[in-house]
Structure 1
């Protein structure tokens, strides 16, 4: 059974409330000079600060997934869900590593890539522009599996991550197979203004429920690391509610 509109609204409000507390449990960003102007950066570049930043995107991304789903932009919803998957996967990895007291090479590489900036404070390009040297996704998943196994938990969900990511790749890269889902045989046209009439509409809307669940889990993980006990209590209740409603067991 899917979450109701009121339940979704309640969960999004809860996550915004939780984030408001969590973001103040790490050292605040400071004003820095960039390209003749001012912006904000975390000076300490802590793992905990990286978790908070990624959590900001998880929560804003959930609202965007909901908005796209309601308007029938299911291709765009699926592409954004792939981004959401990687954000929550990174949070999962960082939280597990901190819980285990492990500062492995993969975590160091992830942090280096995350905080890297090609432009110096004086506006000078540091190096030829190229993508950050982030660890491959399969390497992060392997470390998650190892950490989860060491803690004595099941790692079936880790194996599922690669499968889900592969499934959404076609929406991210715009494969013909994915785009042809936009074609409406009855009208003989592509549904570029939203696919509310698509036969897959309910499937995509139901799929969004999984991202409510994953967002709640991500907030709970960060709350645990930052020892935000009241947040953890409230979010645990939402976790149980969603699990019961959509039939998730973990």
Structure 2
């Protein structure tokens, strides 16, 4: 991929969106932390949380793309597991704004999100207990928002299946590790899998995360009640989709001919 590739253009576009939206929330302030300071959003608003989540999303997309190009597809897939949760969290927060209904789960989510890892008044390095809104609860809420009050068990099953598969890359499960094995000498690829069918497959899969990143920006524009930004992102999304996919499937899905099976 070159600097002018559709993916590079999309990442640049997403960065600009984050920068625009970051100017619409109270800026981080210096907060004393032990003998120094850290930057924090002291107001702890839902819109500040959305900007932070978008920033981490774009950073992770950049990192996953670099790993992909170097052939480190196991590590790329681990980041995509993180991206799954980030994009779910963005939708979870956005829908509470656009629906006009914030639930106790949303309030707890924000409380836990902004919670400090370490007590700034203590010299001890031990971390504090961090609460968590369960992924099951977040996905059930999203399912109801998309599919109505009764939800869709099929949609939830798909989400759980994808999550479980990518968790195997994060936790280094045997089936995922064995994707690194093969080649002429039958060994483990430990310096990346460039030129193998695995890299080609993960390149095609990466399209989904790029597309979902664009749509996460689109949803967030709605949460900021910015119709002009929303329309511009939808226009960009359409051009990106036209340039890179067919029927929401990446044009990078490979032919096995002439590619090392790994």
Alignment pair present for 1:40 and 2:36: no
Q: Equivalents in 1 of 2:153, 2:206: separation in Å? A: 23
Return closer, same or farther for 1:149/1:124 CA change in 2, 3 Å cut-off. farther
CA drift at 1:153: 10
Q: 1:6-32: CA deviations, max 9, x gaps?
A: 111111111111111011111111110
Distance in structure 2 (CA, Å) of the matches to 1:186 and 1:5 = 35
Question: Offset of 1:166 from its aligned partner?
Answer: 1.1
Partner of residue 248, structure 2: 248
Q: Which residue of 2 aligns with 1:133?
A: 131
Which residue of structure 2 lines up, in the alignment, with residue 219 of structure 1?
217
1:82 aligns with 81
Query: Please, which moves more after superposition, 185-194 or 88-97?
Result: 185-194
86-95 or 239-248, which moves further after superposition? 239-248
> Is the 2:180–2:190 contact (alpha carbons within 8 Å) kept by the matching residues of 1?
yes
Structure 2 partner of 1:30: 29
Distance 1:234 1:140, change over 3 A: same
CA deviation digits over 1:29-66, x for unaligned, max 9? 11100121111111111111111101101111111111
The gaps in structure 2 that reach 5 residues or longer are 250-262
Distance 2:78 2:153 in 1: 25
More off after superposition, 90-99 vs 110-119: 110-119
Greater helix fraction, Structure 1 or Structure 2: 1
With over 3 angstroms needed to count, the CA separation of the structure-2 counterparts of 1:234 and 1:151, relative to structure 1, is farther
Distance 1:157 1:48 in 2: 27
Matches of 1:9 and 1:134 in 2, distance apart?
A: 34
In the alignment, what sits opposite 2:231?
Answer: 233
**1:91 is the counterpart of 2:73:** no
Structure 1 Cα separation of the partners of residues 153 and 218 of structure 2: 18
Q: Secondary structure at the match of 2:30?
A: strand
Contact map agreement 1:148 1:155 (CA 8 A) in 2: no
How far, CA to CA, are the matches of 2:124 and 2:117 in structure 1?
6
Aligned length: 246
Q: Matches of 1:125 and 1:239 in 2, distance apart? A: 48
Q: Paired residue for 2:112?
A: 113
2:195 — aligned with what? 197
Task: Give the alignment's Cα RMSD to 1 decimal.
Answer: 2.6
Gap change, CA 1:152 and 1:100, over 3 Å in 2: farther
CA contact (8 A) 2:94 2:223 kept: yes
* CA distances 1:161-213 after superposition (whole Å, capped 9, x unpaired): 22211110110100111111111241232111110132222110011111110
More displaced, 239-248 or 45-54?
239-248
Give the drift of 1:82: 0.4
CA-to-aligned-CA distance 1:122-159 (integer Å, 9 cap, x gap) = 34569x73552111101111111222344999997665
Between 1 and 2, higher relative CO (CA 8 Å, sep ≥ 6) is seen in 1
Once residues 77 and 157 of structure 2 are traced to their aligned partners in structure 1, the CA distance between those partners, rounded to angstroms, is 19
Structure 1 gap segments, 5+ residues each = none
